[in-house]
Every structure is written in C-alpha cells, then in structure tokens.
Amino acid sequence: MYDEKISSQLAATFLGFTKQLDLPADWNDESHSKLWVYNLHYFEDLLSVNANTKHDFHIALLNKWAAENPIGLGNGWEPYPISLRVPNILKAWQAGLPLQEKHFKSVYAQASFLSNDLEKHLLGNHYFVNLKALLFAGVIFNNTRWLKLAEKGLMSEIPEQTLEDGANFELTPMYHSLILVDMLDMYNLCRAYPKQVSKELTHLIESYIPKMLNFMQLVSHNDQGVSFFNDSVDGIAPNQARIKAYAQALGFSLLELDIQQVNAIDSRPSGYMVATHSGNKLIFDAGNVGPDYIPGHAHADTLAFELSIGSERVFVNTGTSRYGVGEKRLQERKTLSHNTVEVDDLDSSQVWGGFRVAKRARITSASAKVVADTIELKAGHDGYQVIYSGPHHHRTVFLSESTLKVIDKLDGKFSRAKARFYLHPDLNVTLINEKLKVIGKRFELVADLKGHQAMVSKSNWHPGFGISQQNSCLEIMFSSPENHIEFTWNAK
C-alpha cells in the first residue's frame, strides 16, 4: 500500500524546489542539481517534528530505498549522503521508529561501505560527518573497527576544525551550526553509551561545545538567524533557539550576549568582529577566507559587514542560492555580492569554479575598541595589492546608538572602486535629491549622499537555497582614495 502511494503521489521539497517523485528514477536524477538528489537520500524527515505520526510511511520509504539502491550504486552510496542518513536512521530508531532486522542489516551495510570510503581527500565537514556516522554505527552495532576509526579521527579533527574562539575553521556560520549539532549528537550518544566510547573523546567533545555555542551566538543576527558570510543561509541548520534548547537539555549553559550593552568584540582566531550597541548588532568579517587547504565554502567577502537594527536585518550580504559549477554560483561568491569594496571590477580573493579559491586576501591589521560610547572596528587586507599590484584596502566602521559611519581607504594605484551596501528586501529604500531613506517596521534610516557618486540598483537576496527575493543595493563610486558615508536612524 505504502510503496504504491510513494511511487504515485509523493512529492519532495528541498532547497526551495518541489518535485513530484518518480521513483526509482529520481534517486539519481541530477537534472535539477546533485545537491537536491543528495537531500533525497539524507532521510531527514525521519527526525521531523511529527515523525512519530509517520512511522508506517517512514518504514515503507526505507524499504523502497533499500530495494531500489543496490549496494555501491548511485548517489545514495556516496560517502556524504551515507554519513547523514546512517545517524538519522539510528536516531529515529532511538526515538521510537520500529526498525526491523532487515533495516539494521541495511544500515550495517551502509556503514561498512562508508568505512572503506572516507573522504580524507576532501577533509573538512565531509570527513567530520563520515566520522560521526561511524561513531553512531560503531556504538549501535558494537563494531570495534568502526569505533577505532571514528575515535582516532575525531580526536584529531575536533581540535583541527575548531578554532580557539569556538569557530569552525571553514568560517561559515551555517556550517558552524551544523557541526555544532553534530557535536551535540555525539555527546548525547557518548552519555547514553558510556561504556562503548572512550572517556577521552567524551571529555574532548564536552570541552569544545561551550565555545562553539558562544561563537554561534556571536555571529547570529538579533532575529536568531545566521549571518550570511561565505556559504551561509538560513533553513539548512536548525535555528539558534532549537540548538540552544538541545544544548540545555544536555546540561550546557550559554552566557547570553547582551546586545543592549556597548560591546566591541574581536574574535581574532576566526577573524570575526562584533559590535553591539543599544539593541543593534554589527558583524564584521575581518578574517582570512578559511584554512588554506580547504577554502571551498569561502566567498571573496573580506571586510564585508552585516547590520541589524533591533530585530530587523538592515545591511545583508546577498547569500547563497545554489552549489555546483555555474555563473550564478560564481556571482554569489564574488566581491560584488557583498557589503565591501570592489576595486577595478576584481575580486579581493580569486574565487573560481564551484568550490575553489586561488590567490586570496590576507588580513594585515585589525582592532576593536570603544571610544567615548562609540565602537570602532578597524581592519585592512592586501588582496588587491598582492594579487593585482593594486591598492591596500583599509576599512573602519563606527557604531553608536543610532549612527553607523563607514570609512574606506585605498592605499595604492587603482582606476575605479565601488562600495556596495545591500539592504534587506523588507525595507523600503529611496534615493531622492541625494538623500537616502530606508524605512523599516521600527526605524527610519537616512544618509546624506551629497558629493557622492551614488545610485540605488535592484538586486536579489538569497535567504535560502533556491530562494531569491528582490532587494536594493546602494552603490557608491570612489571619487578619491578615501570614501566616507554615515547612516543615522530613529525609532518609529
């Protein structure tokens, strides 16, 4: 009954795209995107909020997957989908999904296949979830080999992939949240099966989670969503409230960041700086693009920033709508898609392909301080200078109770330069008689642009994969090596 229903009626929505499924063909139909097909194989619906009401459906779907995906063939047997699916199935079983012997045999076969196909050539988050899957399978099936592989790998990768400030080393807020959930899952498993996991691994995971929780909060907006630096969007990782609740249920506490207070935070290991003042929050990317050997999720967004006034996002980077190789993916990674300065139509770091970076910008100076109730964040990078023999870019941002001032300085030769400030699509933006006006639900922001070569252009913001919303971008051409702009706002 359920197999017939799955074949003829089931639709799936991933990454903003809905498709009426034609199984088994769609298990490997990459016509929309490979990532969409990957999501079809993750089986995340097993852990949905109402999963306990769908046990019959989930069992039928697992049966269908096993029958239509022979061992080693197709997308479902690639190591990354296996690594997400195996823990999802085992977690669902622990939550009450009535698996049968044949399902455990299927999961065992998947874990066994994965154990011989670990993504050590990719490393990063791929290898990390490989190890997580082996830890889960090793514990549940009491498989010593898998446990040894997982523990040895995790004892090395957790310190490697987590910086001193708690940031995941790929410097992508979305992936940071995903890895944090992985850490909480593994800690939960270690506590539930203390005799099967070494105390050393349990203590290591336990010691890193608090730092990771603090960093998640640091680079999140006031609406609890992630900031859009590098490959980050909302809707992929669980939201901050769910992650906090999960952590608290496991006994972790979180020191809340008081955004009403005047704070200047230089989280130097990751390079992110954060300013909070009177309920407003500014997040500034003053770091390098990521680890030199794995910059695949990096964007050319050095010295970009995002700003929230109260609970409303105001200045936003354009986000990420897709993976893979293509012009749209490349466009979203380029400097021109971020709230920073583009020089001579070039990128501050040479992003190319879908997940590649050639020469890249390096941070040359950075500081964060409070001066007379105003926060000053300051940084410089050498991307244009080292890569193209162009200028050195210095940026200083000043945040006070109701003012944001941005000063950009280019030291060196260049023909043209442009600063961009992308605005959230919910805001009403006008530029009339050289006066910018931005109206939100609870504030009105203005900027006097007299003397600036300024225009407001139409753009698109991508808050999730496959999602595009029209927004506005303020573009300011440099008329000299130094550009100043000041935004002020009042509560409505």
CA dihedral sign, ordered 255, 256, 258, 259: positive
Range of the domain at 214: 2-249
How are strands ordered across the β-sheet holding 363-371? 363-371, 374-381, 392-399, 403-411, 482-491, 443-448, 435-439, 428-432
Coil, helix or strand at residue 340? coil
Answer positive or negative: Cα dihedral of 135, 138, 142, 143. negative
Q: Which of these three, 216, 249, 282, is where a domain ends?
A: 249
Q: Do 130 and 158 reside in the same domain of the chain?
A: yes
pLDDT at 106: 98
- For residues 335 and 299, what is the distance between their CA atoms, to the nearest angstrom? 7
Specify whether 286 is located in the same domain as 423. yes
Q: Is 144 helix (H, G, I), strand (E, B) or coil?
A: helix
pTM recorded for the entire structure: 0.94
Q: Does 370 lie in the same domain as 240?
A: no
Count of all residues that appear for the chain in the document: 492
Q: Is residue 291 part of a domain?
A: yes
- Helix (H) or strand (E) segment spanning residue 364: strand 363-371
Q: Which positions ≥6 away from 270 have C-beta within 8 Å?
A: 163, 165, 167, 171, 215, 287
For CA atoms 346, 351, 352, 357, give the dihedral sign. positive
Give me the pLDDT at residue 10, please.
86
What does the alpha-carbon distance between residue 464 and residue 387 come to, in Å, rounded to a whole number?
A: 32
The verdict on residue 259 lying in a domain is no
| CA atoms of 167 and 379, how far apart (whole Å) | 19
CATH number of the domain enclosing 273? 2.70.98.70
Count the alpha carbons within 13 Å of 469 in the hemisphere toward its beta carbon: 17
Domain end marker among 249, 277, 307: 249
Number of domains in the chain: 2
Question: Which of 223, 249, 275 is where one domain is finished?
Answer: 249
- Domain of 9, CATH number, reads 1.50.10.100
How far apart CA 461 and CA 443 sit, in angstroms, is 21
| Within-domain flag for 258 | no
Cα separation, 189 vs 150, in Å, equals 13
244 & 299 share domain: no
| Same-domain pairing of 284 and 427 | yes
The one-letter code for the residue type at 86 is V
- Does one domain contain both 279 and 239? no
Q: What is the CA radius of gyration of the chain?
A: 24
Asked if residue 184 lies in contact with residue 284, where contact means CB atoms within 8 angstroms, the answer is no
pLDDT tens per residue across all 492 residues of the chain: 334 455 457 889 998 889 999 999 999 999 988 999 999 999 999 999 899 999 999 999 999 999 999 999 999 999 999 999 999 999 999 999 999 999 999 999 999 999 999 999 989 999 999 999 999 999 999 999 999 999 999 999 999 999 999 999 999 999 999 999 999 999 999 999 999 999 999 999 999 999 999 999 999 999 999 999 999 999 899 999 999 999 999 999 988 899 999 999 999 999 999 999 999 999 999 999 989 898 989 999 999 999 999 999 999 999 999 888 889 999 999 999 999 999 999 999 999 988 899 999 999 999 999 999 999 999 999 999 999 999 999 999 999 999 999 999 999 999 999 999 999 999 999 999 999 999 999 999 999 999 999 999 999 999 999 899 999 999 999 999 999 999 999 988
Q: What pairs with residue 422 in β-bridges? A: 473
Say which residue the tokens 């989280």 belong to.
Answer: 267
Residues 379 and 464 in one domain: yes
Report residue 335 as tokens: 């400097």
Rounded distance between C-alpha atoms, residue 246 and residue 249, angstroms: 5
If DSSP codes are grouped into helix, strand and coil, which group holds residue 181? Answer: helix
If asked whether residues 209 and 341 sit together in one domain, one would say: no
In a domain, 256, yes or no: no
